[in-house]
Structure 1
Amino acid sequence: MTAGSQTASGADPVEIEPHEALARLRDGALLVDVREMDERAAGMPCDAIGIARASLGDEIAAVAADRSTDLMMICASGQRSLLARQQLLELGYTRVVSVCGGFNRWRAEGLPLADGAVDDDFAQRYARHLVLPEVGLSGQIRLSRARVAMIGAGGLGSPASLYLAAAGIGTLTLIDDDKVERSNLQRQVVHVDARIGMAKTESARLSLSALNPSVSIDTRETRIVAANVESLLDGHDLVIDGADNFPTRYLVDAACRRLGIPLIYAAVHRFSGQISVFDSRREDSPCYRCLFPEPPSAAEAPNCSEAGVLGVLPGIMGLLQANEAIKLILGQGRPLVGRLLCFDALDASFRELQLSRDPACPGCGDGAAFSGYQDIARICAG
């Protein structure tokens, strides 16, 4: 009799070998993985049910109401599963065994794993996400497969890209044609003093890759214009608008509407910021031109170099953009669609305004007609 076939006083053994467990699983037995959620995120046996040992007494009845159900317990090495077996016997379950050697043996013997099994780096890096029911393993995998286009690697793009990289977004595409200047460093925290003169996309890539090497960083050192806007954005799951000029914002808004990509907009001015989400996939969603049908004059909306901006303000608004991006990818919470969230840094207060779709909007209204990106670019000229 082998160690993996240790027999109890009843008909069933105390422990069985992993290959025996697989055969019983295929015959209808239930395999319960009693490791913690962050451990299971690194991989589970195929068709196993995850219930942490601490929750076993409360949750086992939901999957095995019949106490004669054929149950197999598995953990990492076979120790906790023995304790779990004893716990279930004391609850009146009559057919419970432990898998000898646990998941370590199961994987070492090349037995089938559940889809979406991940490595130890994944499990450790995202451990605090994996224990959130609203994220969990499936949500983290969605994040790891997402493609996000970041318009601008400046004040808004810096915090948004840092936190999206940390969150495990699969691919970040950075689109910017500027170089790092010393005046950027007061707010553009993805850059450092030693990279003054370097392309912002490359400087950001270095910082983001150092933070999370598993994220793919694509760089596009170019300005968005009518001729390239659609090709730059196509294939992404969402777009974050960190642009600092109106021609780019109008072009990006039009392209996102035509491509059906959600756009997360934000802007900052001196001590105030605003953010909203424009999602053309939703019939009730306004677009950027519902908010600004025509561009304001230079006097009405001076840029940061002319008007100044509190350094922390783009950080606050960029983090809110990252939060909206994660919510959209996970399908959790209520996105800022039809809502304009305004922040006053001096008063430390938020104010929410309802932003309805405008039937007369030149971008998405009932009579709106697309006549080309070049025409859209012209509305900001002069």
Structure 2
Amino acid sequence: MNAKPSAADILEIDPRAAHERQQDGALLLDVREHDERASGRASGSIGLPRGEIERRIATVAPSREREILAICASGSRSLIAATTLRALGYARAYSVRGGHARWIREGLPMERGELEADAAERYARHLALPEVGLAGQQRLARARVALVGAGGLGAPIALYLAAAGVGTLTLVDDDVVERSNLQRQVIHADARIGMPKVDSARDALRALNPCVRVDAIRERLRASNVEDILAGHDLVVDGADNFPTRYLLSAASLRLGLPLVYGAVHRFSGQVSVFDPRRADSPCYRCLFPQPPSAAEAPNCSEAGVLGVMPGIVGLLQASEALKLVLEIGEPLVGRLLCHDALAGTFRELRLPRDPACPGCGAAATFAGYDDVARICSA
């Protein structure tokens, strides 16, 4: 009488069983070549050609305890892949019987586009997070984020959004790199002094992640261009250092229905919030500052000074809020103002409700054009 095969002897499973295990957390690994995956792939699968498994699997699946389901065109290469994975210590590696041909015949979900091996390795720590995973990483890749300001706040925001895989990052700034910037604007370098900040930042971001598209717009945000520049993006991040720009951003955010991630620094302190016009309960920037403070009340960095790390701390918080908005996870800082005091080493959260009488978003608010908004700060 033949003995029943043990789990260690079984290398193949049917596509429907593979799909069920995938829903429970198993990794579906498409071992076909890059060009084969161009026409489509099993939903949620990660592409890693069979010949690259030995070199790359440790970054795609760091834990050898994870179940891996290899799939190819017909089931032949995936069987070899499963054997290879077992030899590498992945005891729960299996081949999907019949491959994609059978997967499709059984009506299991397919999708266009893919996560290539480079991306699977680059974003391995994201893919390990259930809150992000493959679907979240693909959402990041489709995202279009406008970042206004490529200086102190813009530097950490741009670096971390690019590193996270945001597909398109639009940088807007008309300034050039100066030596006095380098104390806090860490995206720039001494060798790029005199270069437009957007070009300097683009060079740094391309070196960090060549998969991200960086659109550099060397212009100052004005009444005449604000909507044209911001339209078509998913959200806007405020890395500006002046009130005229922030009031224009606020007005455009409301007009275009774009979430606005706000941040500001002053000497040893900073603050962060999110204004999201898609939410009925969200305040806008003018709920916080109905009218701009005087120059004496809010001097700029060159006048008041700023601790070099402050834009880094606040900018990273802004980047975190931007990623949460793109991924639709967590609770954004809507209706809350997060304040940081570096000298005291404290964070505190202030409630920031929507103001019914706000001149920007209140019931009686009227929009007389961006030129009118710009004049608020010159009055």
Which category of TM-score, normalised to the shorter sequence, fits these structures? 0.7 to 0.9
- Answering whether residue 236 of structure 2 is matched by residue 249 of structure 1, we say no
**What SS does structure 1 have at the residue aligned with 2:82?**
coil
State the Cα distance separating 1:49 from its structure 2 match.
8.6
* TM-score, length basis structure 1: 0.78
Distance 1:240 1:202 in 2: 18
Distance 1:9 1:229 in 2: 70
State the Cα distance separating 1:36 from its structure 2 match.
6.5
Compared CA separation, residues 304 and 209, structure 1 to 2 (3 A): same
Query: If you compute each CA radius of gyration, which structure gives the higher value, 1 or 2?
Result: 1
Give the CA RMSD over aligned residues: 3.6
Alignment of 1:1-382 (within 5 A): 25=15, 29-31=16-18, 37=27, 46=42, 54=65, 77-79=81-83, 98=95, 114-382=111-379
The answer to whether the Cα contact below 8 Å between 1:36 and 1:53 also exists between their aligned partners in 2 is: no
- Equivalent pairs: percent with the same residue? 61
State the Cα distance separating 1:76 from its structure 2 match.
6.7
Compared CA separation, residues 115 and 374, structure 1 to 2 (3 A): same
**What SS does structure 2 have at the residue aligned with 1:143?**
helix
- 1:228-269: CA deviations, max 9, x gaps? 011110000010001111010000100010000000000000
- 1:256-295: CA deviations, max 9, x gaps? 1000000000000000000100000000000000000000
Distance 1:53 1:74 in 2: 18
Distance 1:278 1:193 in 2: 35
- 1:210-245: CA deviations, max 9, x gaps? 000000000110001101011110000010001111
The answer to whether the Cα contact below 8 Å between 2:26 and 2:67 also exists between their aligned partners in 1 is: no
**What SS does structure 1 have at the residue aligned with 2:237?**
strand
**What SS does structure 1 have at the residue aligned with 2:199?**
helix
Distance 2:286 2:183 in 1: 31
Q: Kindly provide the amino acid, as one letter, of the partner of residue 46 in structure 1.
A: A
Long gaps (5+) in structure 1: 1-7, 58-71, 89-96, 107-111
- 1:4-43: CA deviations, max 9, x gaps? xxxx999xx9778xxxx9xx75xxx534588974956997
The answer to whether the Cα contact below 8 Å between 1:77 and 1:100 also exists between their aligned partners in 2 is: no
Distance 1:159 1:336 in 2: 19
* TM-score, length basis structure 2: 0.79
**What SS does structure 2 have at the residue aligned with 1:203?**
helix
The answer to whether the Cα contact below 8 Å between 1:31 and 1:74 also exists between their aligned partners in 2 is: no
Distance 1:275 1:256 in 2: 16
Distance 1:175 1:38 in 2: 40
Q: How many residues align structurally?
A: 333
Long gaps (5+) in structure 2: 47-60, 69-75, 104-108
Q: Kindly provide the amino acid, as one letter, of the partner of residue 81 in structure 2.
A: S
The answer to whether the Cα contact below 8 Å between 1:266 and 1:275 also exists between their aligned partners in 2 is: yes
Compared CA separation, residues 235 and 98, structure 1 to 2 (3 A): closer
Distance 2:147 2:318 in 1: 11
Compared CA separation, residues 375 and 117, structure 1 to 2 (3 A): same
Distance 2:349 2:185 in 1: 26
Distance 1:279 1:374 in 2: 23
Distance 2:244 2:45 in 1: 53
Q: What is the aligned partner in structure 1 of residue 72 from structure 2?
A: none
Q: Kindly provide the amino acid, as one letter, of the partner of residue 164 in structure 2.
A: A
